[in-house]
Amino acid sequence: MSAAKVKAAVMGATGYAGFELAKLLLRHPRMATPLFLSREQGPATQPLESLYPELTGNESYPLVPFSWDLLKKEGVDVLFLATPHELSRELVPEAMGKGLRIVDLSGAWRLKDPVNRGVYRFEDKDAVLAAELDRTAIYGLPELHRDEIRDAVLVANPGCYATSVIVPLTPLVRSGLVNTGRGVVCDCKSGVSGAGKKPTQKTHFVEAADNFSAYSVFGHRHTGEILEQAGLHADELIFTPHLLPIPRGILSTIYLGLTRPVTPSEIDAVYRESYSGSHWVRIFGPGKLPQIQYSVRTNYCDVGFELAPDGKRLIVVSCLDNLMKGAAGQALQNLNVMFGWSEKEGF
Identify the pLDDT of residue 2: 47
Name 277's Cβ contacts closer than 8 Å, sequence gap at least 6.
none
Q: Which helix (H) or strand (E) holds 238?
A: strand 237-243
Per-domain residue ranges of the chain: 8-158+327-338, 160-322
Catalytic annotation present for 186: no
Top pLDDT among 195 and 159 is at 159
Q: Tell how strand 313-320 and strand 301-307 pair up.
A: antiparallel
Q: What is the pLDDT of residues 71-101, one digit of tens each?
A: 999 999 999 999 999 999 999 999 999 999 9
Homologous superfamily assigned to 8-158+327-338: NAD(P)-binding Rossmann-like Domain (3.40.50.720)
Q: What is the pLDDT of residues 5-45, one digit of tens each?
A: 999 999 999 999 999 999 999 999 999 999 999 876 555 56
Q: What class, spelled out in words, does domain 160-322 have in CATH?
A: alpha beta
Q: What is the pLDDT of residues 138-156, one digit of tens each?
A: 999 999 999 999 999 999 9
Strand order in the sheet with 301-307: 213-214, 237-243, 184-190, 250-257, 313-320, 301-307, 281-286
Q: Please state at what angle helix 329-338 crosses helix 16-26, rounded to 10 degrees.
A: 50
Identify the pLDDT of residue 210: 86
